[in-house]
């Protein structure tokens, strides 16, 4: 069995996305990276293909597919335009998948059809100007009012899809983590709110420009200033967020690993092709040992990434927790390997690899964020070490 295409349905999905990428994504990728423009119109076409609600029940307009399908789509999109793929991940995994598995029936019935079709664009707001990995250090707060509503105050930073255009329009709906008190042990109580465009006090602070990579996705600071949120927009009960967060981080990290795989595959393809086209000293440069090392090692890394990522995808259950060891493991390994393979491609292609018209320069820049976003590689090292101390049998099973 091909673990990357374990069923006819998965194979058909891959071919559909690959065709879409070839016809629509690839022609616009360079321009939108250069101009730092999010392709809003192209994004909505993903809704027409049923991809924006890939893991959502068909009752709400989704496709009811699994973690392997998630991996396929992120790999294929990222082989051409990782920035566009990141916007897709922020919407389809950080918001849509989160709502599918953690939202109330009313929240799902009201919001999921809109985000699955692409009518609304979603985001997730966790990081703050002074808080990233330290989730319990969040300062954004929410307090309950006498009428049952909540008042939300704080700022969120580095939010993909936080701003959807150049006019300061905020995301249509955002999954926001905020502090609502402390628990019996004195730790921060974190709760989740669905904040919708039009709610008083919700705005874009700034669109973040001049990023090294992922420039085709919009990144923004979001401001919540005495933002009034109805109690019906609280997800679960107050203090439930850590349960939501940990489960969804696992599929997010698999998605980011899949993006790394797409970057690695395209980089390998480009350097291999160039090694046959480029002639030096009367020979194709693939005949030289230095070039053979770059290509050979990149092939081995790519195949190792593919096997680990799809093995994890085939065993990961959506909406559940307790799968962190390998969701962290694939992201830790794949993100660094993708950066190394993109770097090797630039080295093989020399000056041509260093300029923007040749895709590997962009892939190299895009790859760096994957070592930071969705959990830093240092946090994965910590988590894996901690989990193996609790379950050392994982090594020998």
26-54 pLDDT tens trace: 999 999 999 999 999 999 999 999 999 99
Statement: residue 183 has pLDDT above 90: no
> At which residue do the structure tokens 């349960």 appear?
243
- pLDDT tens per residue across span 64-93: 999 999 999 999 999 999 999 999 999 999
Token pair belonging to 368? 């760096």
Helix, strand or coil, per DSSP, at residue 333: helix
CATH number of the structural domain spanning residue 83: 1.10.540.10
Active site (annotated) includes residue 378? no
Residues 57, 131 within the same domain? no
Claim to verify: residue 68 and residue 151 sit in the same structural domain: no
pLDDT of residue 337: 98
Structure confidence by residue, pLDDT tens digits, 95-148: 999 999 999 999 999 999 999 999 999 999 999 998 877 787 899 999 999 999
Domain carrying residue 368: 242-396
**pLDDT score for 134:** 77
Residues 390, 275 share a domain: yes
Chain segment 341-357, per-residue pLDDT in tens: 999 999 999 999 999 88
* Domain end (from 64, 99, 121): 121
Q: Write down which residue in 104, 121, 138 finishes a domain.
A: 121
Task: State whether 130 and 110 are in the same domain.
Answer: no
241-277 helix and 289-315 helix, angle to the nearest 10 degrees: 150
305 plus 356 within the same structural domain: yes
Q: What is the maximum span of the chain, computed from C-alpha positions, in angstroms?
A: 81
Q: Do 56 and 70 reside in the same domain of the chain?
A: yes
Are residues 390 and 253 both part of a single domain?
Answer: yes
- The per-residue pLDDT for range 188-224, each reduced to its tens digit, is 899 999 999 999 999 999 999 999 999 999 999 999 9
Report CA-CA distances (Å) from 364 to 188, 196, 331, 381: 38, 35, 17, 23
Q: What are phi and psi of 108, to 5 degrees?
A: -70, -45
* Options 250, 252, 270, 340, the catalytic residue: 252
Write down the pLDDT at residue 77: 98
267 plus 334 within the same structural domain:
yes
């Amino acid at each position: 069995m091909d673990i990357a295409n374990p069923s006819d349905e998965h194979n058909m999905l891959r071919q559909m996305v690959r065709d879409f990428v070839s016809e629509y994504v690839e022609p616009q990728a360079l321009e939108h990276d250069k101009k730092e423009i999010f392709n809003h119109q192209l994004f909505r076409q993903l809704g027409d293909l049923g991809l924006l609600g890939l893991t959502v029940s068909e009752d709400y307009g989704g496709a009811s597919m699994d973690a392997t399908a998630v991996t396929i789509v992120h790999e294929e999109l990222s082989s051409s335009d990782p920035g566009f793929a990141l916007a897709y991940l922020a919407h389809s995994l950080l918001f849509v998948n989160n709502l599918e598995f953690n939202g109330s029936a009313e929240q799902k019935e009201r919001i999921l059809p809109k985000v699955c079709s692409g009518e609304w664009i979603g985001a997730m707001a966790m990081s703050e100007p002074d808080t990233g990995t330290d989730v319990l250090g969040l300062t954004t707060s929410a307090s309950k009012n006498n009428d049952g509503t909540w008042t939300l105050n704080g700022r969120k930073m580095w939010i993909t899809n936080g701003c959807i255009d150049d006019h300061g329009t905020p995301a249509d709906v955002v999954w926001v983590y905020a502090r609502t008190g402390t628990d019996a042990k004195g730790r921060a109580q974190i709760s989740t709110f669905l904040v919708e465009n039009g709610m008083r006090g919700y705005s874009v602070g700034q669109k973040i420009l001049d990023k090294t990579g992922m420039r085709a996705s919009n990144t923004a600071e979001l401001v919540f200033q005495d933002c009034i949120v109805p109690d019906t927009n609280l997800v679960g009960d107050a203090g439930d967020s850590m349960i939501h967060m940990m489960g969804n981080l696992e599929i997010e990290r698999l998605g980011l690993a899949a993006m790394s795989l797409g970057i690695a595959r395209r980089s390998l393809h480009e350097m291999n092709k160039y090694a046959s086209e480029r002639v030096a000293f009367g020979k194709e440069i693939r005949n030289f040992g230095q070039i053979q090392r770059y290509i050979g090692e990149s092939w081995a890394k790519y195949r190792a990434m593919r096997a680990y990522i799809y093995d994890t995808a085939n065993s990961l259950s959506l909406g559940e927790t307790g799968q962190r060891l390998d969701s962290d493991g694939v992201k830790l390994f794949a993100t660094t390997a993708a950066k190394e393979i993109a770097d090797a491609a630039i080295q093989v292609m020399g000056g041509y690899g260093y300029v923007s018209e040749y895709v590997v320069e962009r892939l190299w820049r895009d790859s760096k964020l994957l070592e930071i976003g969705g959990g830093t590689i240092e946090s994965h090292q910590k988590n894996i070490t901690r989990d193996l101390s609790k379950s050392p049998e994982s090594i020998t099973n």
